[in-house]
Amino acid sequence: MAEIKGILFDKDGTLVDFNATWLGVADFMAMDAAEGDRW
C-alpha cells in the first residue's frame, strides 16, 4: 500500500469544483435510492 504523504483541504472550492466532481455521483445515488422515481 502507498504511503500517504499529505492531505489537501479545499474548504472554499478554489482547487476542486465540488459540483463537477460529485453532482453526478450524488444524482446517481439518489436515483438508485428512489428506484428511478425522480419526482
| For range 11-29, the mean pLDDT | 88
pTM higher than the cut 0.75: no
Q: Is the dihedral of CA 22, 1, 11, 17 positive or negative?
A: negative
- The phi-psi region of residue 36 (left if phi > 0; otherwise alpha if psi is between -120 and 50; otherwise beta) is left
Instruction: Label residue 26 by pLDDT band (50, 70, 90).
Output: very high
Structural domain boundaries, residue 12: 1-39
| For range 17-23, the mean pLDDT | 87
